[in-house]
Chain A
Amino acid sequence: MLMPATENEAAGIIRAHAESGTALHLAGSGTRSGFGNAPLAETRLSSRCLSGIAAYNPAEMVMTARAGTPISEIEAALAENGQSMAFEPPDHRGVMGTSGEPTIGGACATNASGPRRFTAGALRDHLLGVRFVNGHGEVVKAGGKVMKNVTGLDLVKLMTGSLGTLGLLTEVTFKVLPAPKNAVTIVLSGLEDEIAMRAMAAAMALSVEVSGAAHLPESVRGRFIDGRLPQGAATVLRLEGLEASVTVRGEKLSKAMGAFAPVQVLDAAATSRLWRQIADVHPYADGTERPLWRVSMAPSEAWKLVAGLRLSAGVDAFYDWQGGLVWMRMEDDPAADTLRQGIRALGGGHATLLRAPEAVRATIPAMEPLSAAVTLLSERVRAKFDPRGIFNPGLMTQGART
């Protein structure tokens, strides 16, 4: 494993590999090393040693950190100033069965966003600027260090979620926000998936600023916060903000939601644990390799996909993002074709196979296949960053594996 200590050293390594056309597996700490298809590269190049917070001014709500900085270090620095990352990066060590210290570079490369994504935006919405080494071994900067910036093409968006196929991130600058001072969760009990979706949509139509909306069917409900959620499926709605705001909004929301189901309220401590566990896909962090899908669809449609699949396959599922994000665990066969056809039939979206036994993964593209025109365009874009294709070959497009 190559672990350069400086950006220059990293650029030198990449230049040498570009010249010889030798592939590199880019990584942070490897806590998501199972994500995507397995890259066809012998040598791992890690940004782990490019570490440390480079600049942080709480009053400007901006932080700059080197890519290998542990997320825990960033969270600690933010907490000291009453701030946090609004995109709530999830910890997928549990579901992925990995260990190590997740890095901010890895979070950016995977666009890791948690439950607040459907209102506050994804990590990509908070990333202001990056530095990276491209496939020529050149150091490129994109974006800036200020909140608003429309100067030139937004390469920052392109780098976010590119899974290390366009370049090695060396430094990232992102927006941070005041950490909510208080939070509560309103729990509706016993709703069927379909009604739960309607209840969540109704909650989002109110002016109470719901910042988390998930539906946890009875099959998973008991696996959250030590089984302390009330009996039956739990539809959970989070409110966050200043002390006074949360109380007022909580009352308003409880009253409105009473029309759908019996309502209970969880306090700040339970709220914090519950949403951490939702982000981290806690119910399926069970040490198994049973196929796990992450599906993103229109919130009104996702439950239909699950209902349809249940007729032909063993499926366990729960919903985040107002119902639009489905975490789906299959009993045996990953049912990739049925699943992806179902998504298309219901108006589109995408499914990513996060986890499955090695033999199964080798036969199924982990990422949703793109249309021919978008594939072509993506390949042309990629060639502009990494013409020799040395970064994580095969990871995004399984076609390149064979």
Chain B
Amino acid sequence: MSEAIAFLEPRDAVLSRRREIIEDLSELVPAGRLVHEPTALVPFETDGFIAYRRRPLAVVLPETTEQVAAVMKYCHRYGIPVIPRGAGTSLSGGAIPQEDAVVLGLSAMTRILDIDYANRCAVVQAGVTNLAISEAVGADGYFYAPDPSSQLACTIGGNIAMNSGGAHCLKYGVTTNNLLGVKLVLVDGTIIDLGGKHLDATGYDLLGLVCGSEGQLGIVTEATVRLLAKPEGARPVLFGFDSAEAAGSCVADVIGAGIVPVAIEFMDKPAIEICEAFAKAGYPLDVEALLIVEVEGSEAEMEAMLASIVEIAKRHNVKTVRESQSPTEAALIWKGRKSAFGATGRIADYICMDGTVPLSQLAYVLKKTSEIIDRYGLRVANVFHAGDGNMHPLILYNINDPEDAAKAEAAGMEILKLCVDAGGCLTGEHGVGIEKRDLMRHQFSDVDLDQQMAVRSAFDADWILNPSKVFPLEGRS
């Protein structure tokens, strides 16, 4: 296990009261909603960032907002750190606990409270999974737009905390653009409503601030999310190019031509090989870079858009063009891309990085990335959302070899710095968590960071909510 990332020292005052705390908590939630046996705590020791794990003091799984409020009030009173948790799919260690912390899991709050087509929104509890929302409204012709690859498992509460995105956010935006309101339990147990079925708010945009705050400002117990009418049709096209540069400038020209597809996904050669070996999607193996461009609309519209896109791709010497002729073929094109994480996991352990860069820097950053990886003697596969410059280098390594693990981590950090230096930022969708915490000073000056930390303190003066995350441990006030 890698130990490069530090956690805050557990508070003795909390650890020494463990037994008492567990007893008190058992009175705040229904029977069976408190977990404290060591073996039962194991699943809560880590999240999708499995290189690190810490055993929490206890886990509570409340069923109502009031129970969440009671737990918060109690923990606040005794200075007990609280780690909010949804499905635990965070890739940045956002939901990893520590020894003196109570994990507050929302996974039992899975009710869809209201589906309101007249106002195109749904009110759901925080533990509802992302996909469950679209499934609940799909038969009526609606969907919830943000679609992280983890959508089968991840919760709307986790999506809000991480401001998650997905392949289709080029057109539809990320979570913050599709969120109308939340019910939020503040650190002292106060319950507030931000937003609702109306648009925008008077006063400060606290809803916008809470979205992406990584469980540091309050516990989301309910969310009001936007529903959209499903498009008439959708069609992906596969393009193979001889170089990443050609693929990159093709993307820029498509956008320059006034066409905004719903998705533009990019894969480099190693990623193509890995995904093809697994999904047998018929990806071309003789190209250096592959784009999946998806358009939406009626038949006539898709025809018109695709004709222009193909025309542009030809100008960049496209080698392969595969238009899907049927839903089966379309599904196959996506299958390769969507199985990228799983397929990579079959051949090696990997860490998934998540930086963003300006589109004009894509080819440069890809080239530099492979130089960095070569220097560490590792391998990398790149698969990402090209339309918005969100890179996902998957760094392959051997998790059982501490030296290899340390190298992978170091290479990953260098790549993220490279993204920032190229005018981008540290994370486009996975969050800072513990993973990128110590790089924050690379992107922000002390003044910038102090302002963020001051705002955090306005919500949680004692820093008991998810305290080891997001901000560097040193220099906290």
* Chain A interface residues toward B at CB < 8 A: 57-62, 82-83, 111, 113, 117-118, 121-122, 124-125, 134, 138-142, 144-158, 160-162, 166, 177-179, 181, 197-198, 201, 204-207, 209, 241-245, 248-249, 252, 296-301, 321, 324-325, 347-350, 352, 367-368, 370-371, 373-374, 377-378, 380-385, 396
Contacts and interface: CB of A to CB of B under 8 A. Distances in A.
Given A58-B256, A117-B199, A152 B452 contact: yes
A348 B142 CA distance: 25
Contacts of B211: 154, 157
Interface string B288-330: 0000000001101101110000000000000000000000000
Contacts of A350: 198, 200-202
Contacts of B358: 57, 60, 62, 145-146
B155 interface: no
Contact of B458 (A62, A245, A380): A380
Interface in B345-364: 356-360
Contacts of B388: 146-148
Interface pairs A-B: 7 shortest CB-CB: A157-B208, A178-B258, A298-B197, A147-B388, A148-B428, A59-B252, A349-B198
A124 B389 contact: no
Contact of A59 (B177, B231, B360, B458): B360
Given A153-B455, A207-B230, A347 B197 contact: yes
Contacts of B457: 384
Contacts of A241: 301
Nearest to B232: A207
Q: Chain B contact residues (Cβ within 8 angstroms of A): what range?
A: 35 or more
Contact of A60 (B176, B200, B360, B390): B360
B209 A157 contact: yes
10 contacts: A58-B256, A148-B389, A151-B443, A152-B452, A153-B213, A154-B211, A158-B209, A178-B257, A245-B297, A349-B198
B198 A296 contact: yes
B200 A296 contact: yes
A147 B423 CA distance: 12
Contacts, number: 273
A121 B256 CA distance: 22
Contacts of B242: none
B314 to A, nearest CB: 18
B120 interface: yes
Contact of B203 (A60, A61, A82, A378): A378
Contacts of B257: 178
Contact of A298 (B119, B193, B208, B298): B119
B162 interface: yes
A142 B176 contact: no
Given A146-B356, A384-B451, A158 B196 contact: no
Contacts of B252: 59-60
Interface string B428-452: 1111100010001001110111011
Contacts of B196: 298, 347-349
B229 interface: yes
Contact of A207 (B192, B197, B231, B443): B231
Contacts of A378: 203-204, 206
Given A60-B252, A378-B206, A244 B426 contact: no
Contacts of B130: none
Given A158-B455, A384-B455, A348 B118 contact: no
